[in-house]
Structure 1
């Protein structure tokens, strides 16, 4: 059975861990084109992912530092198979947060 999910509706949606604890919001969805089809590669969640989506690394980091933020690089890369979208309004991880890679600023 094929199911359609509008990815734009997932942006900003809170993601829960397997215990129901909030871990961050979906801020970016990375895809890859193969032929005529697009496939989700990963979801980026957390503050760093928001800066990535807005392409605002330098200005965003400066503002966060000015506001006294200490934990600036908070974000995780979630492989597509680790995201449970059974209920797209309440996405959840299929793994524990510790199993995910931290999202870092991409190198230029």
Structure 2
């Protein structure tokens, strides 16, 4: 199991296989697996940034509008869809079409 300091990943640009910038890692989802914490997915894009800035703390209608916008402008990258062998230069190992939008 590889260990990477999360501080090195947040804010890093993610490149496609062709070398085009897809967006920056703004949030990292982790899950507990018995005694370990594992990365399940990375959230990139402007919607992920809003998520990271805790839009849940905003009042009523403003929060709802921001959440709708965040969902439409956030991409999720599963842990196995990204090459982190160089944490300062994360790169997709799949086609961009294989990524999930939410």
- For Structure 1 versus Structure 2, the TM-score category normalised by the shorter chain is 0.7 to 0.9
Q: Tell me, yes or no, if structure 1 residue 39 matches structure 2 residue 35.
A: no
CA distance in 1 between partners of 2:10 and 2:65 (Å): 19
CA distance in 2 between partners of 1:3 and 1:53 (Å): 25
1:74 offset after TM fit, Å? 1.8
1:30: which partner in 2?
29
CA deviation string 1:2-21 (max 9, x = no partner): 54310122101000000000
1:89: which partner in 2?
88
Normalized per residue, the structure richer in helix is: 2
CA RMSD after TM alignment: 2.4
Gaps of 5+ in 1: 66-71, 104-108
Q: Normalising to structure 1: TM-score of the pair?
A: 0.77
CA distance in 2 between partners of 1:46 and 1:97 (Å): 13
Q: Classify the secondary structure of the residue corresponding to 1:33.
A: strand
Gaps of 5+ in 2: 57-62
Q: For structure 1, which segment, 21-30 or 4-13, has the greater mean C-alpha deviation from structure 2 after superposition?
A: 4-13
Aligned residues between the structures: 95
Q: Where has structure 1 moved over 3 Å in runs of 4 or more?
A: none
